[in-house]
Amino acid sequence: MSRSSLLILGLALLGACTEPATTGTMSARNAQAAAIKAPASEHKDLATLHAATARFQRYEVAKDANYTFLFMNMCMVDQSAAKLGGMGYHYVNPDLLDDQLDVARPEALLYEPEPNGRLRLVAVEYVIPADLWTQANPPELFGQQLVLNSFNLWALHVWAWENNPSGLYASWNPRVNCDDAR
């Protein structure tokens, strides 16, 4: 295990011994509680995801890693009567749009706009264009089947950086909004 992976794991374990964060981001305690309910393979995959995407907390770093395509050019919130929450801005790495899924390399990073104009990483999205998927069954990751969405993409959201009361893999997060979108 690399030094950075050990450091992240150590910080997560240390954080699990303190009170939960009050900022709305997923605290170590919430992550630990979710992990206890998850199978060991899912726990390992979530740890891999956290380690691989921690550096993208600053959008500038994600941009340098080619997460540059702003999907839909808008901050996404649920417009239905149910008002299920938001997703934020979707920044996609076009080089990753193929028929493969890699836990450590999500196709999209989701950012919520903050009042100061900065973007805050809240989730990742794994995507396979439908026309590239040739298997009979939907693609799977984290023990979850990806869902074919209205954009003709197999997709799975993982709320790795913002606690989601609707569930770790829900499409919308009621704690995410676009109030500060510019």
In this prediction the pTM is 0.79
Where in the chain are the domains? 38-158
DSSP secondary structure of the chain = --HHHHHHHHHHHHHTTSPPPSSSSPPHHHHHHHHHHS-HHHHHHHHHHHHHHGGGGSHHHHHHTT--EEEEEEEEE--STT---EEEEEEE-GGG-SS---TTS-SEEEEEE-TTS-EEEEEEEEEEEGGG--SSSPPEETTEE-EE-TTSEEEEEE-SSS--TT-TT-S-BTT---TT--
pLDDT tens readout for residues 95-151: 999 999 999 999 999 999 999 999 999 999 999 999 999 999 999 999 999 999 999
pLDDT tens readout for residues 3-45: 433 333 333 332 333 233 333 444 444 444 454 556 778 889 9
